Amino acid sequence: MWELRYSAPFHATSPQSMKRYRLASYFVRSRFFAKLIAALATLTLVLAMRGPVVSASAQSSRVLLTEQTATVVATLSDQSAFSLGLALGGSEPTSATVSTQIYSRLSTRSGLLAALGGQGLTNQIGQSEPLPFSCLPAAPKGGQLLTIAVVTSSATTPTLAGGCSGSARPPSYNLHCTIGSGGCNGVYPVAVTVNQGTTELAHFITLMTYVERPAVAPLKVALVLRLGSTNATRTPAELSAADKAIRLYPSVQSDLSVSPVFLQQLEGTSSGKSVVTQFAQSISGAPTTHEIPKSGYVPIDPGVLLTSSLQSDVGLQLKRSQTIQSDAGLPADSATSGWVGTSSVTSSTLSSLLDAGFSRIIIPDSSLAQPTATALNWGQPFTVTSGNATLTALAADGTLSAQMLPANDPVLAAERFLGDLAFLHFERPSLTTPQGVVAQTPIGFTATTGFLDTVFQGLSANPVVTTSTLTALFSELTIGANGAPTSRQLASNNPSPPWPAAQVAALNLETTRQRAFASAVTNGQSTITALADQALATENAALTNATRANAINATSSSLDRELARINISSGDITMTALNGTIPITLTSTAPYTVHGVLTVASPQLRFPHGNQSDQVIDRSTKSVRIAAQAVTSGDFSMRATLTTPQGDLAIANQSITVRATQSSIVGVILTAGALLVLFGWWIKTWRSKATKKKRRTL
């Protein structure tokens, strides 16, 4: 995929020269050099992908590419149309002009990346003269349409409609090649320049692909689209953009990795739920065209979880993701597409995935000892082994991945991506055994209608590139075909670095507390699920040690807030005898029912019927009476505790002061006598009043 050229060895005559020669040769042959090349390539691409090259005098100007002919196919008349839709920003004058320059076809991928950055464009083979925007016809997708006739011979006189409306002679490019020889096939850089008088408003590079005839064995590409992976940009519009592209171009296959957290957020609103339902219907209607790879509730690093003694959580992550997708109406995730991760792959990763039931993996290019970008033979599956773990793998092309960030001009980014795919085919156009590549959206990708529509349209009926799901790509490609290696080595055989031990212990403690809490709650599944999801989210591979510690603390605080809904009322309690009952009031503000065991304890009190009782708290207030016996009169401290049924989690605690008093026998007799005297006096008085009333009546 890259052209590597080395100078012939110099002739060393002195010991010092020989030493320098051996050192230089070592670096050329070493893996270090291969990784250095890959790193430089990535840096070049990042700089190229930052957006169109804009002149310093026009930083406020904006010219967007709204559409483009992605693939120009040769015709019998030797005339093919290449169109560009260009939209001027609101502040640009309508008298602006646009001109283009086309350069010779690219021969190396490093040259392609340099061209996208505006470098190395020296062999211009054609151009279109400046044309005012005001004379160009309207483009179907917005802006004005510039159409250029592409011919291959000077003997051809362009007659296609193009350029300004009503123009007798449209602009044209002459590729100066012979159709049928293969010399016209390729990817050509096209520079687009917008000027206002002598002032350059904008300048950018796009790619034009020219094809003489459809390929016998087109390049197979597996599109892996992550949707809703970026917290800051999660909106229904992202899922709607994917749904629109899927419906408009039903023949384009893809793997759709939809964030479960994103689905939860969308399901929480009526508008979001409607979008999810529509999306689910679109992909469910084409189960062999679109598949959902297995993934975690959040992006996880299986290798790190294994070395952190959290391997069982890999299964929990997969299960929770599958449940959310099923609840949203999405089809079951694919068991054959392989693991598609975002983290570095280590020996621990392979062991973890094998234990979780995976036999296939998509490996980031950076995790391989020899990155694909520096390999001369690529495009086939291979095996990767570490210890007892062996998986079948495909490498994700990091260069393609970086080009899938739409940036400020989604259509331009999409056309560059399509051009790079075509270039990969033209690197080895004569193959009869298919080769494939995995294009995986990077972290930070946000799906937009402009980007996805352009990519899906460009891949629909593409003569040199065809789409495939990951499952199909693994099945249709052959290990070792086209001279590709049958096995490859990881960049590192070291295990994944584990979490700090304190964080592992803290998370284990929280999951234990959550299980205990769940055993005490009925009619509160939504609360239990939300707590469990929060614990799973702490395993997000994007978290640092510091942010993960904060996330675990937040998980603990959430459970504490639920426990704080249940309380035991405080206050002093008086027993007027050494034997009696102690009233205890349980209160709840929880929207669910809590089952627990109430335990009372005090060194100075005995509990004839036991100090424990099962309680069901299904209302705001519940009174409980506990039979008790004081050893002697006085004030005693009693501890009341409500725990989960198994006693493994304290729900509520309260310290209560019990005051026990003892009345004497003499006091009781005197009190009773006094009451009898009072009662007698009352009877006597009542009779006296009744007699006097009767006499007055007579």
Q: What is the CATH number of the domain that holds 574?
A: 2.60.40.2310
Q: Does residue 352 sit within a domain?
A: yes
Q: Where does the pLDDT of residue 15 fall: very low under 50, low under 70, confident under 90, or very high at 90 and above?
A: very low
Tell me, yes or no, whether 493 lies in a domain.
Answer: no
Token pair, residue 490, equals 């990881």
- The CA distances from residue 396 to 10, 255, 265, 318, 466, in Å, are 37, 13, 29, 22, 17
Domain endpoint, select from 160, 181, 211: 211
What does the pLDDT look like over 152-161, one tens digit per residue?
999 998 888 8
- Whether 443 and 450 have beta carbons less than 8 Å apart is answered as no
Q: Is the domain of 655 the same as that of 678?
A: no
Q: Is residue 217 included in any domain, yes or no? A: no
Residue 673's domain comprises: 666-698
Pair (44, 57) in one structural domain: no
What integer pLDDT is reported at residue 537 of this predicted model? 97
Give the torsion sign (CA, 25, 27, 28, 29).
positive
Give Cβ neighbours of residue 384 (< 8 Å, ≥ 6 apart).
Answer: 345, 350, 361, 363, 390, 391, 393, 487, 488, 489, 490
Assess whether 230 and 357 both reside in one domain: yes
Would 490 be classed as within a structural domain? Answer: no
417 belongs to a structural domain: no
Nearest Cα residue to 291 out of 468, 454, 436: 468
What angle is formed at CA 174 by the lines to CA 171 and CA 180, rounded to 5 degrees?
A: 135
User: Average pLDDT of 578-600?
Assistant: 94
496 within a domain of the structure (yes/no): no
| Boundary-marking domain end, from 211, 236, 255 | 211
The whole-angstrom separation of Cα 72 and Cα 84 is 12
Domain identity same for 670 and 627: no
Note the pLDDT of residue 273.
95
Q: What is the pLDDT of residue 232?
A: 58
Render pLDDT for 300-314 as a digit per residue (tens, 0 to 9).
999 999 999 999 999
Structural domain total, the chain: 6
CA angle in degrees (0–180, nearest 5) for 137-459-240: 80
Q: How far apart are CA 534 and CA 488, in angstroms?
A: 38
- Residues of the chain with pLDDT > 70: what percent? 86
578 and 696 part of one domain: no
- Does residue 489 lie in a domain region? no
Q: Same structural domain for residues 532 and 590?
A: no
Residues 36 and 106 in one domain: no
Are residues 184 and 197 located together in one domain of the fold?
yes
| CA distances, 266 to each of 127, 271, 468, 621 (Å) | 49, 8, 28, 37
Domain final position from 13, 31, 48: 48
Q: Are residues 387 and 527 in the same domain?
A: no
Together in a domain, 204 and 131: yes
Residue 653's pLDDT is what?
A: 95
pLDDT tens readout for residues 513-522 = 999 999 999 9
Looking at the fold, whether 25 and 1 belong to one and the same domain comes out as yes
Q: Give the residue with greater pLDDT, 684 vs 534.
A: 534
pTM for this one? 0.83
**CA-based nearest residue to 351, from 490, 460, 258:** 490
Domain containing 150 — which CATH number?
A: 2.60.40.10
546 within some domain: yes
- 97 shares a domain with 83: yes
